[in-house]
Amino acid sequence: MLPFARITVIGLGLIGSSICRAVRAYMPTARVTGYDASAEVREIARRIDLCDDVTDTAGASVTDADLVILCVPVGAMGAVGAEIAADLPADAIVSDVGGSKASVLAALRAALPGVVIVPGHPVAGTEHCGPESGFASLFKGRWCILTPDDQTPEVATARLRAFWEIFGANVEEMSPEHHDIVLAVTSHVPHLIAYTIVGTASDIEDVTQSEVIKYSAGGFRDFTRIAASDPTMWRDVFLNNREAVLEIMQRLTEDLNAMQRAIRWGDGDALFAAFSRTRAIRRSIIEQGQDDAKPDFGRAH
């Protein structure tokens, strides 16, 4: 039995459009309705036949839904919740895919009093965005984190779990607060660092932009991928997971200072020790299927 039969996806970017495609690929008898605030995106969604129906208002997209998934930047969750509140069926479950969870849960509870909310976050993506960048297999083998709290009925969380498992995702539950500190480490701070270093490299007077590009295969190019991610989405993540990000940044800054000090004082043993302990993590990530085992991410040579 399918956990949901009439699914509405609001926000048809990389993640939203991947959910639409996954519903069609893995739950072909379910109906999927889409809405996006951008008329251009709705037009593309219709042209590429992304959903069974694309509506022109958020409210119209939810009238018949048993699951509504909000796939908009985390700063917009509250407003979108308010937009659908009047049209939402009483038994519909609302979920989302936002990269920060405590602030989203608070915003949705305020906008949708009495509604069953199961916040979610599929830890998957690419650097591309928009309705044409999604694909059905995006969630396969990746983790999806659900962050119910004590107001969330267990049966609702179980249905969401079943939904994501149909797409091939592994599902984990944790508190919104724990999610936010874990993702600050594994996603938010890495993105902040990548955005910053790409900016810094552009600003060095002694090195031209052309040189940065030509010699990027020395390591820099790896950072440019995630630094090409959607700016609105990431602005909202940092504004909405401020405390956890600043805490991890503080730790990282201390560690960077220690590295610089080791370089300045020529402490080769400290550098060697620091550079030796990091290989085991890479090995585990590959062993657990979270990255490609091929050298250089499998890039063509």
Report 249-278 residues binding a copy of itself (CB under 8 A). 249, 251-253, 255-256, 259-260, 263-264, 266, 268, 271-272, 274-278
158 vs 201, beta carbon nearer a copy of itself: 201
63 vs 175, beta carbon nearer a copy of itself: 175
Q: Side chain identity at 112, as an amino acid letter? A: L
Answer for which of 45, 123, 146, 156 binds a copy of itself (CB under 8 A) is 123
175 lies in the binding site for a copy of itself (CB under 8 A): no
57 lies in the binding site for a copy of itself (CB under 8 A): no
Spatial separation of the C-alpha atoms in residues 114 and 129, rounded to whole Å:
33
Answer for which of 145, 147, 152, 167 binds a copy of itself (CB under 8 A) is 145
Report 1-30 residues binding a copy of itself (CB under 8 A). none
Report 191-220 residues binding a copy of itself (CB under 8 A). 191-204, 206-207, 209, 211-220
Report 225-244 residues binding a copy of itself (CB under 8 A). 225-229, 231-232, 234-236, 238-239, 242
183 lies in the binding site for a copy of itself (CB under 8 A): yes
246 lies in the binding site for a copy of itself (CB under 8 A): yes
- Find all residues with CB under 8 Å of 57, minimum gap 6, and list them: 35, 83
Per-residue binder mask for a copy of itself (CB under 8 A), 76-115, x = binder: -----------------------x----------------
Q: What is the nearest approach in angstroms of a copy of itself to the Cβ of residue 244?
A: 9
